[in-house]
């Protein structure tokens, strides 16, 4: 069977993540990816129409992993803490994806199924509108993704500091963010 016959979304995503992790987002092109997959670019275009769609697949895959880890009936703090740790873990596995996730929104078809669970959790103990709740979740994604960009830097270059430094920074940033959410929107906030 030819390489093109074995081409599917999963094999494309594996190759994209490998390329991002090894060479960084600047090295990603449809031609480079086709070469890595040992196919002609036309075969790749049959599955993914352009680089923008390819980047969307990366962002959606990372978000899908994070959303799959959500637990029903968790309070807002547990939900946001879990999301933050899941996102950091996903980006730690594929550090080259951080530069993509930072600038690419999650597709509605990926996020919308999680909205009822997210809103139920966010309304448990917080006084806010649905719109504010969703903005807070987006803000959390930006916080964690920004941290990942600082931690992983210019992939494939190694991080500038030891892991313990980034762990402490992450814990402080997350706890401060959550304290701010509680201070502003907590049921007991004035």
* pTM for this predicted structure: 0.92
Long-range contacts from 39-43, C-beta under 8 angstroms, 24+ separation = 39/3, 39/4, 39/7, 40/4, 43/3, 43/4, 43/7
pLDDT at 76: 97
Find out if CATH 2.60.40.1220 is the number for domain 3-185.
Answer: no
The answer to whether 3 touches 38, Cβ cutoff 8 Å, is yes
Question: What is the distance between the alpha carbons of residues 66 and 85, in angstroms, rounded to a whole number?
Answer: 9
Q: What angle do CA 51, 98, 156 make, to 5 degrees?
A: 90
pLDDT at 164: 97
pLDDT at 123: 95
Helices (H) and strands (E) in the chain, counts: 10, 0
Low-confidence ranges of the chain (pLDDT < 50): none
What are the tokens at 28?
A: 């990603």
pLDDT at 190: 58
Q: How many residues can be counted in the chain?
A: 190
Q: CB 153: neighbour CB atoms within 10 A? A: 17
The answer to whether 144 touches 87, Cβ cutoff 8 Å, is yes
Please report how many Cα atoms fall inside a 13 Å half-sphere around the Cα of residue 66, on the Cβ side: 32
């Amino acid at each position: 069977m030819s390489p093109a016959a074995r081409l599917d979304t999963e094999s494309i995503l594996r190759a994209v993540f490998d390329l991002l992790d090894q060479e960084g987002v600047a090295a990603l092109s449809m031609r480079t990816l086709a070469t890595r997959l040992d196919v002609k670019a036309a075969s790749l275009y049959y599955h993914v129409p352009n680089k923008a769609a390819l980047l969307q697949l990366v962002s959606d895959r990372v978000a899908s992993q994070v959303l799959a880890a959500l637990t029903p009936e968790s309070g807002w703090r547990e939900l946001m803490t879990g999301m933050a740790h899941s996102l950091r873990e996903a980006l730690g596995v594929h550090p080259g994806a951080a530069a993509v996730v930072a600038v690419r929104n999650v597709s509605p078809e990926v996020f919308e199924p999680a909205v009822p669970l997210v809103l139920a959790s966010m309304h448990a103990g917080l006084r806010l509108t649905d719109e504010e709740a969703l903005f807070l979740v987006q803000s959390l994604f930006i916080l964690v993704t920004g941290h990942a960009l600082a931690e992983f830097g210019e992939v494939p270059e190694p991080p500038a500091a030891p892991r313990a430094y980034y762990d402490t920074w992450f814990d402080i940033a997350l706890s401060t963010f959550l304290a701010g959410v509680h201070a502003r929107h907590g049921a007991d906030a004035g």
